[in-house]
Every structure is written in C-alpha cells, then in structure tokens.
Structure 1
C-alpha cells in the first residue's frame, strides 16, 4: 500500500507543479531514462507535440512543446489511482491553440510507471481528432 501512496504522490506533485508553472520541478520529476508517449508511440520532429520522447533531455522538449502549443484555460484532474508503481490519472482540459486561437477541449488519460521516485514511463492520451481540428486554420 505504501508504494501505491508514494507513486500517486509523485504524479500528484507532477500535476501541481505543472499547474503552478514550476517547469523545473516538472522536469525533475522525470527519471533521467524516461519514456514519454504523447498520444502515439512513434518518432516525431523536434517541435511536434505528439510522439515519443526518450530521456530527461527530451522531456524538456516535451514540456516546451506543450507550453509553445497551448494556453491552458482549464485543467482538471478527476482521479489518480495507483497500484504499486503504476499510476492511472484522468481528467478534462481546455487549451487555446496558440497558432489558431481555437479552443481544444478534451478528456484525457495518463498512465505512469514510477521508478526510483521518478516518472520512468509516461503515456498521455487525449482526443487527437479534436486537436487536429482545432490546429487547422
């Protein structure tokens, strides 16, 4: 039980740091050899948000891509559930897409695997069709 509580606390810290704009803390919560999958597990161009990121150095690019893509209007975490070192979280968000000014609204789900007190694996899913629609002029 203790491991589950620790794992969920790390993910909760991640969301709190992001919502408070503390990107150094967000980055520090990723394991140095992390794997991040944003919507789809495939190679991506450096500035492309969705795709695969490896290592903490690429996690810095992941954070930059989010910040450069959106102005967050609302972000809510509905639940965080942990079993051992695996954490599931979900919620809703509303982002203004910076390139179009359109509102991107989606439910989201995230699965994280915690190792050595850090986020080792991070998979984030959202309504990618809505993202494509709101990203086009």
Structure 2
C-alpha cells in the first residue's frame, strides 16, 4: 500500500478515489479511518444513498456500487485544502445498470483527514438527476 503519511489532505482524498476506481475494496478501506463517517446525499430510494458509519458499513456500500453503476468517466478538476479538510470538485459519468441510462454530474467531495486517512466523506452530486436515471422510462415520462 502507498504510504499517505507525507500527503496533504487533498492528496489523501485523491489517493482514496484512485484506489476506489481500481475496484480493490480492501485497499480502498485502508484509506479510511475505522470510525469514518461516509455520506452520499440524495433520494433514499436510490440504493447507494445514505450515511455509512465505520469501515464495515462502507464495505457493504462498496458491493452496491458495482451492482448499480458502470463508471464511464471521473475527472477531478480542483482540490481546495484548509487544515485537515479538503474539498474536491469535478465531473463524472456513469451508466445505471438497471435502466441502461447514462448519468453525469458535477460533484463535490467534502472530506476531513486524520492520520493520513479519510475520516469524513460527504459526496454531493445532482441527486435529482441520479434519482431520475434510476427510474424506468414510464416513470420518467410521468415526471418530466
């Protein structure tokens, strides 16, 4: 595992994201503190939305992501740092596996870092657009 001891908070979070997209769950979990507070905001009926407390809850979430999403693109545009916190902004595009629809959004990840690991993670995206991408065409036409 790459050492994160000399990294800035933004570099620690970028390392976490890079590891996540390599689909190595154990190495990804190693990037988090044991008591991580990990949140993705949005509609509660989207399977990957919610708050996860601790590595074991994040591990369970990590089985939901590949079952629901095919990542097509993920780009970090900016990293802002202040003390032990980092905000990363960028853009991504995923395919929703249950509907075949593509969903893309700007994002912000608001994070805190402790001892070279991510201790809080708050991912903000176009949650309404994500919810719509999960809806079958018949439902999407009714709400359009």
> Normalization by structure 1: what TM-score?
0.87
**Distance across 2 between alignment mates of 1:56 and 1:7:** 19
Alignment map for 1:1-137 (pairs within 5 Å): 5-40=7-42, 48-137=47-136
Contact 2:35–2:55 at 8 Å: present in 1 too?
Answer: yes
Looking at structure 2, the residues matched to 89 and 4 of structure 1 have their Cα atoms a distance apart, in angstroms, of 19
1:106, CA displacement in angstroms?
A: 0.7
1: CA distance between counterparts of 2:99 and 2:32?
A: 30
- Which portions of structure 1, spanning 4 or more consecutive aligned residues, are displaced by more than 4 angstroms? none
The 2-side partners of 1:66 and 1:124 are apart by: 14
Q: How many aligned positions are there?
A: 132
SS of alignment partner, residue 100 of structure 1: coil
Distance (Å, rounded) in 1 between the aligned partners of 2:104 and 2:21: 17
Q: In 2, are the aligned partners of 1:72 and 1:96 still within 8 Å (CA)? A: yes
The runs of 5 or more residues in structure 1 that have no matched partner are: none
List runs of 5+ in structure 2 lacking aligned partners: 137-144
1:52-111 alpha-carbon deviations (Å, 9 max, x no partner)? 100110111222222221000111111122111100001111100011000011111110
Shift of 1:4: 9.8
1 CA distance for matches of 2:56 and 2:21?
21
* Aligned partners of 2:37 and 2:119 also within 8 Å: yes
**What's the C-alpha RMSD, in Å, of the aligned pairs?**
2.2
